[in-house]
Amino acid sequence: MKTYDITTQQHISDHIQVAGDIDIVYNIRAGAQLDLQQITTTKENAKENAKDSTKINITYNLEQGATLNVNTLDIDNKLLHRTQTFNLIGTGASANATGLYITADGEKSTNNIKMNHLNPNCTSSQTYKGLVGGVSEFLGHIFIEKDAQHTQALQQNHNILLNPSARVISNPWLEIYADDVKCNHGATVGKNDPDAIYYLRQRGIPELDAKKLMLEAFIDECVMNHPSKDELLELISAKLKTL
Amino acid sequence: MLKINNLHARVEEKEILKGINLTVNAGEVHAIMGPNGSGKSTLSSVLAGNEKFIVTEGSVEFEGQNLLEQSIEKRAAMGLFLGFQYPVEIPGVSMANFLRMAVNSQRKTQGLEPIKAGEFLKMMREKAEIVELGDKLMGRAVNEGFSGGEKKRNEIFQMAMLQPKLAVLDETDSGLDVDALRIVATGVQKLRRPDNATIVITHYQRLLDYIIPDFVHVLYDGKIIHSGTKELALEIEEKGYDWIINK
Ligand SMILES: Nc1ncnc2c1ncn2[C@@H]1O[C@H](COP(=O)(O)OP(=O)(O)O)[C@@H](O)[C@H]1O
Ligand SMILES: [Mg+2]
Closest alpha carbon to A203 in B141, B196, B142, B2: B142
Residue B4 predicted with pLDDT over 90: yes
Once rounded to an integer, what is the mean pLDDT over residues A59-70?
98
Extents of the domains making up chain A: 2-192
Residue B213 has a pLDDT of 93
pLDDT exceeds cutoff 70 at A50:
no
**Separation in Å, CA A179 to CA A144, A150, A156, B131, B175:** 9, 9, 22, 53, 48
In the predicted structure, residue A47 carries a pLDDT above the cut 80: no
The DSSP annotation for A39-95 comes to EEEE-HHHHHH--SPEEEEEEEEE-TT-EEEEEEEEEE-SEEEEEEEEEE-STT-EE
The single-letter DSSP state of residue A179 is S
Is residue A48 pLDDT above 90, yes or no? Answer: no
Mean pLDDT (whole number) for B58-64: 97
Q: Could you tell me the end-to-end alpha-carbon distance of chain B, in angstroms, rounded to an integer? A: 31
What is the pLDDT, as a whole number, of residue B151? Answer: 93
Atom 5 in ligand 1: which residue has the minimum CA distance?
Answer: B11
- Chain B hits for A202, CB-CB cut-off 8 Å, are 48-49, 72-73, 75-76, 81-82, 84
User: Residue B177: is its pLDDT beyond 90?
Assistant: no
Give the lowest-confidence range in A106-110, A230-234, B46-50.
A230-234
Per-residue pLDDT, B207:
85
B89: chain A residues, CB-CB within 8 Å? 196
Tell me what the mean pLDDT of segment A88-106 comes to: 96
User: Which among A201, A212, A216 is the top mutation candidate for probing chain B, defined by the most B β-carbons within 10 Å of its own β-carbon?
Assistant: A201
| Contact yes or no for B221/B189 (Cβ under 8 A) | no
The whole model's pTM is what? 0.87
- What pLDDT score was predicted for residue A23? 96
Residue A228 CB: number of other CB atoms within 10 A?
13
User: What's residue B137's pLDDT?
Assistant: 81
| Average pLDDT over every residue of B134-143 | 86
Report pLDDT for B110. Answer: 87
CATH number of B2-91+165-245: 3.30.1050.10, 1.10.150.120, 3.40.50.300, 3.40.50.2020? 3.40.50.300
More confident residue, A219 or A176: A176
Chain A positions contacting chain B at CB under 8 Å are 193, 195-196, 198-207, 209-210, 213-214, 216-218, 220
Q: What is the pLDDT of residue A126?
A: 97
% of chain A at pLDDT higher than 70: 100
Question: What pLDDT was estimated at residue A226?
Answer: 85
Burial-class residue B115 by CB neighbours within 10 Å (0-12, 13-18, 19+). Answer: middle
Which ranges in chain B belong to alpha helices (H)? 40-48, 72-77, 95-109, 117-130, 148-162, 178-190, 230-239, 242-245
pLDDT of residue A7: 97
Q: Is B76 on the interface with A (CB under 8 A)?
A: yes
* pLDDT of A49 over the 80 cut: no
Give the model's pLDDT for residue A119: 97
Going by pLDDT thresholds of 50, 70 and 90, the confidence category of residue A231 is: confident
pLDDT band with cut points at 50, 70 and 90 for residue A225: confident
Q: What is the mean pLDDT of residues B139-163?
A: 93
| For the CA of B32, the nearest ligand | 1
Confidence of residue B136 (pLDDT cuts 50, 70, 90): confident
* Residue-level pLDDT at A238: 86
Mean pLDDT calculated for residue range A60-81: 95
Per-residue HEC secondary structure of A85-112 comes to EEEECCCCCEEEEEEEEEECCCCEEEEE
First to last CA, chain A: 34
pLDDT at residue A116 in the model: 98
- Average pLDDT over every residue of B66-77: 97
Q: What is the mean pLDDT of chain B?
A: 93
| pLDDT (average), residues B66-95 | 95
Split at pLDDT 50, 70, 90, the class of B124 is: very high
Q: Which of B13, B16, B202 to mutate to test the pocket of ligand 1 (most atoms within 8 A of CB)?
A: B16
- Nearest CA-CA partner of B241 in B223, B222, B226: B226
Q: What is the pLDDT of residues A175-210, one digit of tens each?
A: 999 999 999 999 999 998 999 999 999 999 999 999
Q: Where does the pLDDT of residue B237 fall: very low under 50, low under 70, confident under 90, or very high at 90 and above?
A: confident
Q: What is the mean pLDDT of chain A?
A: 93
Q: Residue B221: which pLDDT band, with cuts at 50, 70 and 90?
A: very high
Q: How many CA atoms lie within 13 A of A63 on its CB side?
A: 12
pLDDT of residue A74: 94
